[in-house]
Chains A and B, each alone.
Chain A
Amino acid sequence: MAAESQGIDPIHQFNINRLFDLRLGGVDASFTNASLFMLVVFLAITALMVLSTNGRHIVPTRLQAAAEMAYEFVASTVRDTTGDAGMRFFPFVFSLFMFVLFSNLIGLIPGAFTVTSQIVVTFAFAALVIGTVIIYGFYKHGAHFLHLFVPSGVTPVLLPFIVLIEIISFVARPITLSVRLFANMLAGHITLKVFGGFVAMLLGAGVYSVISPLPLLGIVALSALELLVAFLQAYVFAILTCVYLNDAIHPGH
């Protein structure tokens, strides 16, 4: 409450501001700060991948090594989780992983906007993943895809309950997938802002301003933690995408 009275609002950083207005057939398609940072993320990924593969040295440059590491990392994750049949989804998973990772990392720059702290963005990704799973599952296996909800070797008495639980867990997937990423980003950035508010409040508190470096040290430590979380959440998003795609590729337990 005190922070708000001094004009430090931890939620303010998530506001979406229109940079210029645009209306397409009654739909509000204005270019906002979220769109700007999506564009920045897109350009950063494209620059990394294009510039690093321009030279294609046998002994890689630093940039090329970074791009190859990202590629190898996602490729091994996809191969380990879904098998060779899942490698056709590698471009999809790689795009998702890179976009989420770069959004998280660019969002950590002070003053930058975090695209993945908006539930709309993360839910769109999660809906895309689950939509792909359902469509590919039915396209590839037809009605056999429904075996996903009927595990084999269950006693008939328990079967209705198991099926119910499987269906609930399947329906909850897009919610947990999107809210996990969104909540982690939101909570991390609010924590950083609150600690920043502590520094500002202590600086204006007379004698007590001598202890203002303490929350500043806290911010440094939390930023390191947030860096870890930014990578970890991108990895978790990618590996869960692989696990869900694996259900579509190999349904039935």
Chain B
Amino acid sequence: MDPVAAKYIGAGLAAIGMGAAAVGVGLIFGNFLSGALRNPSASDAQFGRAFIGAALAEGLGIFAFLVAILLLFVMK
């Protein structure tokens, strides 16, 4: 296979990982919302924790993004 084509295909495959991170972040906020609607008085205290969880889930998607960036711009 043409190495340049393989590079771009690899970057595209790495972008799938971002979608997986999106699923994770969506799950966190969906569950936070369903919990907050059941017990609205407790939701404010857990707001920050929801964001920490989302940031951590997003962090793993960032690795996929890094792989794509490395493939596109660093690998020759």
Q: Is residue B23 within 8 Å, beta carbon to beta carbon, of the partner chain?
A: no
- Beyond A175-B66, A239-B48, A239-B55, 13 extra complex contacts between A and B, CB < 8 Å: A77-B48, A80-B48, A172-B63, A176-B59, A176-B62, A176-B63, A179-B62, A180-B55, A180-B58, A236-B54, A236-B55, A239-B52, A240-B52
Name A's interface SS: helix
Whether the Cβ atoms of B65 and A183 lie closer than 8 Å is yes
- Tell me how many residues of B have a C-beta within 8 Å of chain A: 12
User: A: which residues have CB within 8 A of B?
Assistant: 77, 80-81, 172, 175-176, 179-180, 183, 235-236, 239-240, 243
Q: Is residue B51 within 8 Å, beta carbon to beta carbon, of the partner chain?
A: yes
Interface positions, chain B 23-76, Cβ under 8 Å from A, are 45, 48, 51-52, 54-55, 58-59, 62-63, 65-66
Whether A180 touches B62, Cβ cut-off 8 Å, given contacts A236-B55, A240-B55, is yes
B-side contacts of A239, CB under 8 Å:
48, 51-52, 55
A-side contacts of B52, CB under 8 Å:
239-240, 243
B-side contacts of A80, CB under 8 Å:
45, 48
Distance in angstroms from A110 CB to nearest chain B CB is: 26
